[in-house]
Amino acid sequence: MGVVIVGNLPYLLHLFDPNPLDTLSGLGTVKAPGLIAGNFATDPNVGLTAQALGHLSMVDWIHGHIPWWNPYEGLGSPLAGEMQAATFFPPTAFLLLSNGQVLSHIAVELVAGLSTYFLLRRLALRRPASVAGGIAFALNGTFSWLSHAPTNPVAFLPLLLLGVELAADAHRRSPLRAWSTIGV
């Protein structure tokens, strides 16, 4: 899925600055590197909550603490139950890096594209059609316009459907194994 890398190349080459904290947090005016500074996502949650809470979760994990609680919000609030923090979502670990938001989104887009490709191949579409479908879903508007944590599960919908397809076939041989396929 080199198309996902090419689609995100302007961010990876620092031609654009995708850091939402610079433009959406309101913490001040920051002159960011790149030809055009700014994040063009439609929802400011990516800079206000998703990046900040995700980073806090990952810092807690690095220090050996399960991030159950956010002590920085009022008298405290649950952090593990916060959808924006994505505490138990593996690509959130990228938020420890300076360009972690971009790397996290690339990982999610790769999962979306590859799982769509395999689902379409499973549905007996030819390779060119499956590749086109995988590319179209990997680079769809959900990932480009809404770049906050609640969009993360969208990438796994084709994977779930692929699991259902595999489970339907496996059910004839072993019903228990069929259900575990969906879980995986």
Alpha carbon 5 to chain centroid, angstroms: 14
pLDDT tens column, 28-68:
555 555 555 554 555 666 666 778 888 899 999 999 999 99
Q: Please name the helix (run of DSSP H) or strand (run of DSSP E) that holds residue 118, with its range, or none.
A: helix 100-122
CB 27 within 8 A of CB 42: no
84 confidence band (pLDDT: 50, 70, 90)? confident
CB 127 within 8 A of CB 121: yes
Percent of the chain at pLDDT > 90 equals: 29
pTM of the model: 0.81
Helix (H, G, I), strand (E, B) or coil at 65: coil
What residues contact residue 57 under an 8 Å CB cut-off, 6+ apart? 67, 79, 80, 85, 86, 87, 92, 95
Closest C-alpha among 155, 31, 37, 165 to residue 104 = 155
